[in-house]
Amino acid sequence: MARPERNSAERAERPEAAADGADAGAKKSFFKRRKSCPFSGKDAQAIDWKDVRTLGRYVSERGKMMPSRITSVCQKKQRELAQAIKRSRYMALMPYVRTEMENTRGPRPERSFDRPERSYSNDRSDRPSRDNAE
């Protein structure tokens, strides 16, 4: 069976099903504005491997480079930014890994399946001697 052909006029006359009974033809007025690249344009800031404060904004808490979809940096400038971060790390201006993470977990709880503490002593009187093995 073939589907019946419909033209655009028939589709426009069709009432849309609205759950709350609002105007069926109204579209949402919300749209996501695309952010512009902070390093592109007339008065844009230059990417410099010595500017640790600027480069640090594009590095996560763990020391990883943040992706361009989060930072809104264009592809060309993202490559330059990555190169500058790597160069800054190599010159020891930035850390490769951040270690000053705060401990969000508390101390380890005592568990019943943990081994009991062993008491080691230098006293070997309770062990059989090797000389009298026969």
The CATH number that applies at residue 78 is 4.10.640.10
Residue 64 domain flag: yes
How many whole angstroms separate alpha carbon 77 and alpha carbon 58?
12
Residue 8 domain flag: no
Residue 65 domain flag: yes
Residue 36 domain flag: no
Token readout for 37 is 């690249």
Residue 34 domain flag: no
pLDDT in tens, the chain (134 residues): 666 676 656 655 555 554 555 555 566 677 777 778 999 988 999 999 999 999 999 999 889 999 999 999 999 999 999 999 999 999 999 999 877 655 566 666 666 666 666 666 666 666 666 665 55
Indicate the number of domains in the chain.
1
CA 45 to chain centre: 25
SS3 category, 65: strand
Residue 123 domain flag: no
pLDDT at 91: 96
pLDDT at 34: 72
pLDDT at 30: 72
